Structure 1
Amino acid sequence: MAVTPLPDGRRRLIDISFAEALEDDAETGGQRSDELVEAATYWRRAGDHDRARRALLAAVDADDGTGFFDAKAAYAAYLMLRGLRESADELFARLLQSRSTREQTYLSAACAYARDGRPRVALRWANVGLQRLVPEGFPRDFAGGDPGYELLRFRRSLRQRLGEPADALDEVFDQALHRGRELSERIRTLRRQAGAPAADTTDTA
């Protein structure tokens, strides 16, 4: 059955309520920067770019380097989205020199440049990020959720978009994806078996 999309006005009210709730949580929770970055996403979706910018700048001030998101990278991506390419490029250049160990730094940059129509620059960010996140190469048991997984996923889609054949890193991602699917299917099978009625072992002889 097709899902009926929400009217624009209602969708906007929902986005605003999420943004406000996240900003409230940022005042009392332990992940202020992350909460503010997420709030900015909802403000942007609601069309309130002034509130989105303010939330991101507050996130930059609160970012101590331990959160999931890189607030400066999120802000640079926002600048790029708003057409402020020169400012975004300058901020991303400084981030590249910082040698961040957060996957989101490189993923935010790669996504921003891909959306801006510069897939080769996006691919460079993905490659640099992977070199820094996994300098010794990928372990045999590399899987979803490990550092570098989402970056590898995005890199794979970029290379396909550019018409490039799969390389060794693409194969690492494909193998991890295959193992993840096998594990998910195994879990589903076990759950089905656990929910199945027990076999009748009554001796009818």
Structure 2
Amino acid sequence: MRVTRVTTAELDRLEFHAVRSGEHGEVAARLLDLANRVDAGSEISRAELFVRAGEQWEIAQEYERACAAYQRAIDDGGATVIDARALSAGALLQLDEIDRAGAQLKRLESEEPRGLQTYLHVAEALYAHDDLAGAERWATEGARRFLGRDLTPYVNDLLWELLRIRFRIRADLGLPEDDLDRRLDEE
């Protein structure tokens, strides 16, 4: 049976259920099922459903399944909030698949454009896996790319979050304060 469309409200309901119940694996399986049945006219793309399933698998600490879901999103090629290659790289790092994660990030770096959420996710994932230089580079590139743009309040909040993590990374690296660090004084 095909699903004509999946709405944001339905997706929110499923993810809220996962948070309340702790049934992240079950919700991931439901999201994968929806992705396999959704029509092209859906409010939520098939690729985004694969991404959301992967995120639920990650929360359930099922990193191989998360990687498989992210790969399906990559293969689908549809629109996603966070680039599936960035999410895949994070899950691969959890599996200690450093070379495969690096290959995903290289592919991601070679293409444009990337959303702010993608920069933030990559910076956080690299930071969590002690690649401080890589995390600082991604955070810096994202901050420079989005500073000065007219952003929605939500994306503006993400920019401040990126600047804060960048500041922590640079402090851990022992780097001196720079112009982007000083932007935090404006917050």
The number of residue pairs the alignment matches comes to 162
1:1-205 mapped onto 2 (5 Å cutoff): 14-26=23-35, 27-28=37-38, 29=42, 30-64=44-78, 66-131=79-144, 133-134=145-146, 137-138=147-148, 145-146=155-156, 148-176=159-187
Q: Gapped runs of 5+ residues in structure 1?
A: 1-10, 177-205
C-alpha separation in 1, matches of 2:120 and 2:150: 23
For structure 2, which runs of at least 5 residues remain unmatched after alignment? 1-19
Partner of 1:179: none
Verify the 8 A CA contact 1:12 1:46 in the aligned structure 2: no
**Contact kept in structure 2, 1:143 and 1:149, CA below 8 Å:** no
Number of the residue aligned with 1:182 = none
Deviations 1:42-67 (A, max 9, x none): 22332433422221111112233x42
Deviations 1:107-147 (A, max 9, x none): 2322222122111111011112233x33xx52699965327
The TM-score normalised by the length of structure 1 is 0.65
Q: Structure 1 vs Structure 2: percent identity of aligned residues?
A: 29
Query: What is the aligned-residue RMSD (CA, Å)?
Result: 2.9
Q: In terms of Rg, which structure is larger? A: 1
- Does the CA contact (< 8 Å) of 2:63 and 2:92 recur in 1? no
CA apart distance, 1:172: 2.1
Which stretch shifts more, 75-84 or 146-155?
A: 146-155
Write the distance in 1 (CA, Å) between the matches of 2:150 and 2:70.
38
Larger relative contact order (CA 8 Å, sep ≥ 6): 2
| 2:12 match | none
Tell me which stretches of 4 or more aligned residues in structure 1 moved more than 4 Å: 139-144
